[in-house]
C-alpha cells in the first residue's frame, strides 16, 4: 500500500512528519534516485534516501520513549552539521531518535525523545490542549498585576495567548502551565510586560514530571506510556 513520503519517514522512525516536510522542501529526499516533492507516495520496493542515506522499514521496529533533562546551552536539533552542541550528539543514544517539540537553547528541563513519529504528531498539535508546566525566574520583582496579566492573555506574535495557570513562587519566580506552544512564548509574554527571563525550566509535560538530573535521561515507565496513550487517545495523528 502506497504511503505519503512524510508519513513513511515518520513511521520508520527517521523523523517527525514536520521534520520530513522540511527535508522534502530542501530537496534532501529522493525516491528511486529522483528528488521527491511534498505529497509523493512511496510504494513497496521503492528506494528512499535522505541525503544519500538509504531509509528502510524494519520488520521489528522497537519504539523508544525517553525522558531527558536538557541542560541550558543544548540545541534541540537532529542536524549534527548545524550545531556542535545538538541534543543528539549530547545524548549519544545508540539508535536514531528525535526530540518531540523544542526547548530553546537558553532553556532547560524536560523534553521527550522518541523514534515514534505518530506520537510526535499527536503531542505537537496545539489544539489537543496538552499541558506543559514551567518554573520561570525574571530579572525584577513580580506582583499580583503581573500574575493576572500573564494568566489572562498577553498580546504576542499578532495574537492573544490563551488563558493559563500562573502562580507566584518567590519575589522573581513563578510557575506557569501552558496548553499552547507559540515560539518562545513565555519569554515573549514576559518581554511584553517589561520583564526579561533569567531562567526557564520545563518540569512537566502532560502526565510526566521531570525526575532525572540535568543531562540525564531514562525510559518511560509502562505506566507513564499507558497513561500518555490514554490522554492522546482522541488526538489526531495528522496536522493541518
Which residues are part of the catalytic machinery?
A: 104
The helix/strand/coil state of 219 is strand
- CA 29 to chain centroid, in Å, comes to 22
CA atoms within 13 A on the CB side of 205: 27
Length in residues, the chain: 240
Reading the block at residue 155, the C-alpha cell is 498580546
Q: Quickly count: other Cβ atoms within 10 Å of residue 145's Cβ.
A: 9
For residue 112, what are the β-bridge partners? 67, 100
* Residues sharing a CB contact under 8 Å with residue 41, sequence separation 6 or more, in sequence order: 2, 3, 4, 5
Amino acid at each position: 500500500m502506497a504511503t505519503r513520503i512524510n508519513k513513511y519517514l515518520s513511521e520508520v522512525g527517521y523523523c517527525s512528519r514536520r521534520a520530513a516536510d522540511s527535508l522534502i522542501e530542501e530537496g534532501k529526499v529522493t525516491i528511486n534516485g529522483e528528488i521527491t516533492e511534498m505529497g509523493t507516495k512511496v510504494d513497496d520496493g521503492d528506494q528512499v534516501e535522505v541525503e544519500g542515506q538509504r531509509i528502510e522499514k524494519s520488520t521489528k521496529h522497537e519504539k523508544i520513549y525517553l525522558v531527558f533533562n536538557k541542560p541550558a546551552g543544548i540545541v534541540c536539533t537532529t542536524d549534527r552539521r548545524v550545531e556542535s552542541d545538538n541534543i543528539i550528539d549530547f545524548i549519544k543514544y545508540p539508535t536514531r531518535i528525535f526530540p518531540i517539540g523544542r526547548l530553546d537553547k537558553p532553556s532547560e528541563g524536560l523534553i521527550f525523545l522518541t523514534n515514534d513519529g505518530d506520537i510526535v504528531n499527536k503531542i505537537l498539535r496545539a489544539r489537543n490542549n496538552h499541558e506543559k508546566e514551567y518554573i520561570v525566574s525574571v530579572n525584577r520583582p513580580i506582583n499580583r498585576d503581573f500574575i493576572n496579566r500573564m494568566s489572562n492573555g498577553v498580546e504576542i506574535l499578532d495574537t492573544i495567548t490563551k488563558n493559563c495557570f500562573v502562580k507566584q513562587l518567590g519575589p522573581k519566580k513563578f510557575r506557569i502551565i501552558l496548553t499552547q506552544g507559540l515560539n518562545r512564548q513565555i519569554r515573549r509574554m514576559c518581554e511584553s510586560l517589561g520583564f526579561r527571563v533569567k531562567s526557564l525550566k520545563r518540569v512537566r509535560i502532560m502526565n510526566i514530571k521531570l525526575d532525572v538530573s540535568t543531562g540525564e535521561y531514562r525510559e518511560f515507565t509502562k505506566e507513564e506510556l499507558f497513561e500518555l496513550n490514554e490522554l492522546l487517545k482522541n488526538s489526531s495523528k495528522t496536522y493541518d
